[in-house]
Amino acid sequence: MNLRFTKMHGAGNDFVVIDATKEPFALTPEQMRRLGDRRFGVGCDQILVIEPGREPADDFAYRIFNGGTGEEVEHCGNGSRCFVRYVVDHGLTTKRSIRVRTMAAQLELHLRDDGRVTVDMGAPIFETGRVPFDAKALQPREVNGFELWPLVDLGVEVAVVSMGNPHAVQVVEDVATAPVLSQGPLIENHPRFPRRVNAGFLQVIDRSHVKLRVFERGAGETLACGTGACAAVVAGIRLGLLDARVDVQTHGGVLTIEWAGASAGLDAAVFMTGPAVQVFEGEITL
Ligand SMILES: N[C@@H](CCC[C@H](N)C(=O)O)C(=O)O
């Protein structure tokens, strides 16, 4: 079969985008992995599939598959910005504020005049069972009233946050020397995370600037992770290290994260702003 696709990126986190608004979409996990493969396929961190909205309140639905494994996942922050850019630039809508349903939630996204996209990412989830994280018989350390959980065998403490998808965030001295590639896979597959996890390494520069590297579940280290940036900033705010608006420097660019949770309550929504860029279009035989 021949498949038309568009290659996009958000701060270097790259995507193969497939328009399934007119025809139903079905690829096997093996075909997904082929699309994600940088040598034998197109190459990407995630595959994004755009579908028609299923409910009256939704303009579209979109599905996310990790490029390394082909598994379907709940959420993708950088992908949601590329989704907006795609549906506007390909004439699928004339709206600038768009509602889309993912596996995890309904999102509201706004295309700004400067071409960047702001996404209402919804409220973070802290209940360990909903992340999901198995906290049985573990003793957390409280900092500023927020729990840091020990991963005893790895000798690290992580904040456990879901943005619809699971994240384990640790604060490090320097992201340049943090053991992202050696420890990332061990955290990703740690038995305390029954659905595996995205592993974030956060370096605080000052109260409104951080550096972040993320070893993503099902994709390895990516140049940026949008939900990872949200989870890391939320964790940093809860630890008392950060203010409500933070620029997150990733290897691929800057994402701005805003969360009023410290003053407005923990169920405040997280807002993420960043770039979304089309790279090329193509066709592949699968
Ligand atoms: N790159 C994404 C996250 C994609 C999904 C993640 N790997 C997972 O398995 O949860 C982002 O920008 O948020």
Instruction: Determine whether the shortest distance from the Cβ of 250 to ligand 1 is under 6 A.
Output: no
Instruction: Determine whether the shortest distance from the Cβ of 46 to ligand 1 is under 6 A.
Output: yes
Residue of the nearest CA to atom 1 in ligand 1?
225
Query: Are both 2-122+276-285 and 128-268 of the same fold?
Result: yes
CA atoms within 13 A on the CB side of 90: 20
CA of 62 to the centre of ligand 1 (A): 14
Domain 128-268: give its CATH superfamily.
Answer: Diaminopimelate Epimerase; Chain A, domain 1 (3.10.310.10)
Each residue of 208-252: pLDDT tens digit? Answer: 999 999 999 999 999 999 999 999 999 999 999 999 999 999 999
Instruction: Determine whether the shortest distance from the Cβ of 78 to ligand 1 is under 6 A.
Output: yes
For residue 24, pLDDT beyond 90: no
CA of 45 to the centre of ligand 1 (A): 8
Dig out the tokens for 90 from the structure. Answer: 């390909």
Whole-number Å distance between alpha carbons of 267 and 269: 6
Instruction: Determine whether the shortest distance from the Cβ of 218 to ligand 1 is under 6 A.
Output: yes
CATH class of 2-122+276-285: alpha beta
The beta strand positions in 96-173, using DSSP E, are: 97-101, 106-111, 117-120, 141-143, 146-151, 156-162, 166-171
Of the candidates 214, 171, 178, 192, which has an alpha carbon nearest to the alpha carbon of residue 66?
Answer: 214
Query: How many other C-beta atoms lie within 10 A of the C-beta of residue 246?
Result: 26
Is residue 230 part of the annotated active site? The answer reads no
- pLDDT for 104 equals 83
For residue 278, pLDDT beyond 90: yes
Is residue 225 part of the annotated active site? The answer reads yes
| C-alpha distances out from residue 213 to 30, 124, 181, 241, Å | 28, 19, 10, 18
**What integer is the mean pLDDT of 39-57?**
96
ipTM value of the model?
0.98
Each residue of 143-155: pLDDT tens digit? Answer: 999 999 999 999 9
C-beta pairs of 62-67 under 8 Å, 24+ apart in sequence = 62/100, 62/101, 62/102, 63/102, 63/103, 64/102, 64/103, 65/29, 65/32, 65/36, 66/36, 66/216, 66/217, 66/218, 66/219, 67/16, 67/32, 67/33, 67/35, 67/36, 67/37, 67/43, 67/218, 67/219
Spell out the domain ranges in the chain: 2-122+276-285, 128-268
- pLDDT for 18 equals 97
Confidence of residue 119 (pLDDT cuts 50, 70, 90): very high
8 A C-beta contact, residue 245 and residue 256: yes
